[in-house]
């Protein structure tokens, strides 16, 4: 007998827990979310601040874990390079 215990979907991970008789199985599956979707809000914020190079913005956001403040600092540090 398989009993469904929980399923949680975030923008990055799918966690699935199953109970099979006396055994519990937990799966953590990475869901491939394009950075344009993952950082959509942050990309909009950066564009509103005058940073229009989407690919450079994505690199900065990825390096900063989505932190806009840190991404801006990184982008300003890369000016002229």
26 vs 44, higher pLDDT = 44
How far apart, in whole angstroms, are the C-alpha atoms of residue 45 and residue 57?
10
Instruction: Report residue 48 as tokens.
Output: 């509103």
4 vs 36, higher pLDDT = 36
Domain ranges of the chain: 1-33, 35-77
pLDDT digits (tens, 9 = 90+) for 35-57: 999 999 999 999 999 999 999 99
pLDDT of residue 32: 82
Domain spanning 35-77: CATH 1.10.8.10: yes
pTM value > 0.75: no
């Amino acid at each position: 007998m398989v009993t469904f215990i929980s399923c949680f979907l975030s923008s990055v991970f799918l966690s699935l827990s199953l109970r099979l008789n006396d055994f519990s199985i937990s799966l953590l599956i990475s869901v491939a979310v394009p950075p344009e979707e993952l950082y959509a809000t942050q990309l909009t914020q950066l564009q509103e601040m005058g940073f229009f190079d989407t690919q450079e913005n994505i690199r900065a956001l990825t390096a900063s874990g989505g932190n806009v403040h840190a991404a801006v600092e990184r982008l300003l540090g890369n000016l002229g390079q």
